[in-house]
Amino acid sequence: MASPADTQVWIKRGAFLFIAFVIMVVQLVPQSMEPRVIDIARWHFRLVSPDICLAVTLVWVARRPKYAPVWMIAAIFLMGDLIFQRPPGLWAGLVVVLTEQLRKRSREFRSLPFLAEWGSIALGVAAISIANRLILAILAVPVAPFGMILLQMILTIAVYPLVVLIMHYLFGITRVTPGETGSRGQRV
Amino acid sequence: MARDKNTEDFVTPIRRLLVGVLLLALFGLFLVWRIDSPRVERFRAAAIDKVVPSFDWAMAPINGIVGLVTDFQSYQQLSAQNQDLRRELQQMKAWKEAALQLEQENAKLLDLNNVSLDPQLTYVTGVVIADSGSPFRQSVLVNVGARDGIIDGWPTMDGIGLVGRIAGVGQETSRVMLLTDTSSRIPVTIQPSGQKAILAGDNTLNPPLEFLEDTALVRPGDRVVSSGDGGVFPADLLVGQVALGTDQRLRVRLSADYQRLEFLRVLRSQPHETINDPGGLLTPEAEFYGPAALPSSALPPVVPSDG
């Protein structure tokens, strides 16, 4: 498949890898080491950032599954597991499961309204977050407070439309329009 | 190749198989990690050792931009800051004078009492190259590792106070688990009451004190230093000050500047010499105690007295 006519695919794949790399490096940059906490009324919130890397991956898989091959996703998230001190392999495996589900359904997404796409993404993210938490609890691995994980999950879902917009206008990750063909007229 | 429905049907089962193998490998790795954590953690340390230092070129511009922004912010407050610093400097001068006098007095008293102190701790200084990148973990990566003789468990300080301890050593990097991490537990002493407690990180900036014997003896503002119990850390490293949290728990305001962790000192802490035997009984080895135990030639000839 790697004939010169498919350079486009490889450029997009490279872009995907590059985005994931940049997100990881930005997260690694040593900034303030203070855990950030905000107080709203008498509630105590620990600030967490959304899992941007996951959101980006989901956008690519839901819209252009060809540009985000499964081995690339597995490699990126396994690296993330190793670097960010997560239990190695579990989160990567769950993300692969979710993306495979979305990949299967990506043809349906082309004709569905955006809200439906967002809804199924939200369900998927919630499912793997809870599955992750459950498996860790069953195997008695020490876990972070549940509130933080919930907050991160919600933020990741909330940030999805924004990531869709950015990917649409900056990297051309649009929905496949009806009748669109590949470089040599094949189906996409 | 032109792909239509038919060719895809041939491709799909193979692909499904490969994805299955991939998933098996990933979850298998997780299970292996759960069963034999140290081995996989060593692999993780080695992987980070290889990968993260090579991110340096990518981090440099981001660091630069962030530095620019913070610099700009601090330029804005320059004059106010200057005034504050001047005032602080004045106070510090008075304190410095007092400290010098106290130091002399202390040295004199120690000398008079013939006190032998612990030898000074030596240290290796490292630069923070990356943080944990996850809101659930409080740790940083420093650029010294096994190559520099770093050993797991050594305490780490910034210029002022304790920051954390080494947890995971690679060849050229090592991970410092901060005191704020949820799995950090440090035995501490609270001065001046001498109460012992455990400083338990809970992912907030001010970790709470646990297992305090008598909270009535501890007041906000008391100094917290490491206690050296359990041989975890050398004693008397400054940790911070006691503060009363909004949740009415005693917490510690850490002395180390967690906003700007840039250079860290890893203290070469030698394990305490342990005393194993209970001490020999003070009995003589020979049956006789006294002159009879000595060889007779060593004794002066016995001169019988005639009363």
A18 touching chain B per CB within 8 A: no
Local structure of residue B91 (DSSP, 8 states): H
Residue B299 has pLDDT above 60, yes or no: no
Closest CA to B2 of A5, A54, A142: A5
On whether residue A181 sits in a domain, the answer given is no
In order, the DSSP letters of B274-299 are P--S-------SSS--SGGGS-GGGS
Inspect the interface and report whether the beta carbons of A89 and B33 lie closer than 8 Å: yes
Give the pLDDT band (50/70/90) at residue B187.
very high
Token reading at B131: 């943080």
Closest CA to A27 of A50, A45, A47: A50
Closest Cα of chain A to B166: distance in Å? Answer: 14
> How far lies A103's CA from each of A69, A100, A116, A130, B103, in Å?
10, 5, 15, 21, 71
On whether residue A14 sits in a domain, the answer given is yes
Residue B306 has pLDDT above 90, yes or no: no
B12 touching chain A per CB within 8 A: no
| 3-class secondary-structure state, position B51 | helix
A17, A34, A77: which to substitute to probe chain B, counting the most B Cβ within 10 Å?
A: A34
Q: Which residues of B touch A84 (CB under 8 A)?
A: 132-134, 137
At residue A100, the pLDDT reads: 92
A21 touching chain B per CB within 8 A: yes
B39, B128, B134: which to substitute to probe chain A, counting the most A Cβ within 10 Å?
A: B134
Inspect the interface and report whether the beta carbons of B203 and A144 lie closer than 8 Å: yes
Cβ contacts of residue A79 below 8 Å, gap of 6+?
A: A24, B47, B51
Token reading at B305: 């007295």
Angle at the Cα of B24 (from B20 to B132), degrees rounded to 5?
120
On whether residue A32 sits in a domain, the answer given is no
How many Cβ pairs within 8 Å bridge chains A and B? 138
Closest Cα of chain A to B252: distance in Å? Answer: 14
| 3-class secondary-structure state, position B162 | strand
On whether residue B273 sits in a domain, the answer given is no
Between residues 125 and 164 of chain B, which touch chain A (CB distance below 8 Å)? 128-140
A177 touching chain B per CB within 8 A: no
Give the pLDDT band (50/70/90) at residue B162.
very high
Which single residue is written with the structure tokens 């035995």?
B187
A4 touching chain B per CB within 8 A: no
Distance CA A44, CA B202 (A): 13
On whether residue B31 sits in a domain, the answer given is no
Written as one letter, the residue type at B259 is Q
Distance CA A67, CA A106 (A): 13
Inspect the interface and report whether the beta carbons of B3 and A32 lie closer than 8 Å: no
Q: Which residues of A touch B34 (CB under 8 A)?
A: 87, 139, 141
Chain-centre distance of CA B18, in angstroms?
Answer: 45
> How far lies B56's CA from each of A121, B62, B145, B166, B264, in Å?
34, 10, 17, 22, 18
B68 touching chain A per CB within 8 A: no
Upstream peptide bond of B192 is cis (omega within 30 degrees of 0): yes
Inspect the interface and report whether the beta carbons of A96 and B26 lie closer than 8 Å: yes
Phi, psi dihedrals of residue A44, rounded to the nearest 5°: -115, 110
Please give the residue that has the higher pLDDT: either B67 or B17.
B17
Q: What percent of chain B has pLDDT over 90?
A: 30
Residue B22 has pLDDT above 90, yes or no: yes
The stretch B257-281 carries a mean pLDDT of 79
Closest CA to B48 of A34, A90, A136, A88: A88
Of B19, B34, B137, the CB nearest to A139: B34
- The model carries a pTM of 0.73
On whether residue B252 sits in a domain, the answer given is yes
A9, A28, A40, A86: which to substitute to probe chain B, counting the most B Cβ within 10 Å?
A: A28
Between residues 202 and 241 of chain B, which touch chain A (CB distance below 8 Å)? 203-205
Distance CA A162, CA A12 (A): 20
Overall domain count for chain B: 1
Distance CA B144, CA A157 (A): 39
Could you give the ipTM of this predicted complex? 0.85
Closest Cα of chain B to A80: distance in Å? Answer: 9
On whether residue B260 sits in a domain, the answer given is yes
Number of helices (H) and strands (E) in chain B: give both, helices first: 4, 12
> How far lies B250's CA from each of A46, A132, B96, B207, B267, in Å?
19, 34, 31, 9, 28
Token reading at B145: 């590792």
C-beta of residue B212 within 8 angstroms of C-beta of residue B197:
yes
C-beta of residue B141 within 8 angstroms of C-beta of residue B128:
yes
Residue B7 has pLDDT above 50, yes or no: no
B172 touching chain A per CB within 8 A: no
B208: CATH: 2.40.10.340
| 3-class secondary-structure state, position B255 | coil
On whether residue A39 sits in a domain, the answer given is no
In order, the DSSP letters of B172-218 are S-EEEEETTSTT-EEEEEEETTTEEEEEE--SSSSPBEES-S-GGG-
Overall domain count for chain A: 1
> How far lies B118's CA from each of B191, B234, B270, B272, in Å?
19, 10, 11, 11
CB atoms closer than 10 angstroms to residue A120: 17
C-beta of residue A52 within 8 angstroms of C-beta of residue A162:
no
Q: Which domain holds residue B192?
A: 123-267
- For residue range A76-123, list pLDDT tens digits in order: 999 999 988 888 999 999 999 999 999 988 888 888 888 999 999 999
Distance CA B203, CA B191 (A): 25
Of B26, B132, B182, the CB nearest to A93: B26
Cβ contacts of residue B110 below 8 Å, gap of 6+?
A: B117
On whether residue A40 sits in a domain, the answer given is no
- For residue range B135-155, list pLDDT tens digits in order: 788 889 999 999 999 988 899
Q: Which domain holds residue A106?
A: 8-26+46-171
On whether residue B227 sits in a domain, the answer given is yes
B123 touching chain A per CB within 8 A: no
At residue B117, the pLDDT reads: 66
Distance CA B218, CA B250 (A): 9
Question: Half-sphere exposure of residue A7, counting CA atoms within 13 Å on the CB side?
Answer: 2
On whether residue B45 sits in a domain, the answer given is no
Distance CA A182, CA A188 (A): 6
Inspect the interface and report whether the beta carbons of A27 and B33 lie closer than 8 Å: no
Q: Among all residues of chain A, which has the CA nearest to that of B180?
A: A35
On whether residue A178 sits in a domain, the answer given is no
On whether residue B42 sits in a domain, the answer given is no
Inspect the interface and report whether the beta carbons of A145 and B133 lie closer than 8 Å: no
pLDDT in tens, chain A (188 residues): 445 557 888 898 999 999 999 888 888 877 666 666 665 555 556 667 888 999 999 999 998 888 899 999 999 999 999 988 888 999 999 999 999 999 988 888 888 888 999 999 999 999 999 999 999 989 888 777 787 888 889 999 999 999 999 998 888 888 877 767 666 666 66
B261 touching chain A per CB within 8 A: yes
Closest Cα of chain B to A42: distance in Å? Answer: 10
Residue B89 has pLDDT above 90, yes or no: yes
